[in-house]
Amino acid sequence: MPPWRFKCLMKVIKCSLEQIKKISNGSVLTVGMFDGLHKYHKLIINKTCELGNLNKLNKVILTFDHKPTKVNEVLISESKKIEFIKSNFDIDLIYIIEVNDFLIKTTKEEFVKIIKDKLNVIFMVEGSDFKFGYKQEGNIQFLQNEFGKDNIFVFNRDTNISSSRLKQLINEEKYEEINKELEVDIDLLK
């Protein structure tokens, strides 16, 4: 499919977690900051698209306006992140969730109930180190118990491919390595 197709169809919704509107069709969901949009993130988003297309489900990204503990520490601006995803992936919907007290205090059970009830999640695609919910008590095992092991697709984390590694390379001004090792477009970085 031509890349212009993606740009035209993706919808972006900014809201709080409690304001998410119900979607009728089932969905494939991935949740994360996607700060840096390195090759690990791209694998996860591509798998989300693949599963959605294969099963005729909505392809949904749930991301956040900032990290709960680091308000001003982002590698890629929200607008650049959205534009990159629109231009490179066949995502139907991006939710940018406001980090507020409700989100921070949401338990793992409440979070799963919201994504099941509101986003009609059938499949999820995450990294093996994915944590969510109050005090990060939710994990992959919990998702597999809630959705079924076959409905949670997990990419094993490669510690050399991370936003932390990206920050390190930026601080060391090793821009060639950023592109080569992490497959990050330097123009996306602030």
pLDDT at 12: 96
Picking from 31, 36, 73, 75, the residue whose alpha carbon sits closest to that of residue 162 is 36
pLDDT at 74: 79
pLDDT at 70: 64
**pLDDT < 70 regions, the chain:** 1-8, 69-72, 190
CATH domain 3-157 topology: Rossmann fold (3.40.50)
Q: Decide if 123 contacts 57 (C-beta within 8 A).
A: yes
pLDDT at 157: 83
Interstrand relation of 152-155 and 121-127 (parallel, antiparallel or unpaired)? parallel
pLDDT at 110: 98
Cα dist. 147→53, 62, 76, 132, 137 in Å? 19, 17, 32, 15, 17
121-127: strand order across its sheet: 11-15, 93-97, 58-64, 27-31, 121-127, 152-155
Domain locations in the chain as residue ranges? 3-157
Element (H, E) at 127: strand 121-127
**Neighbouring residues of 170: CB distance < 8 A, sequence distance ≥ 6:** 75, 178, 189
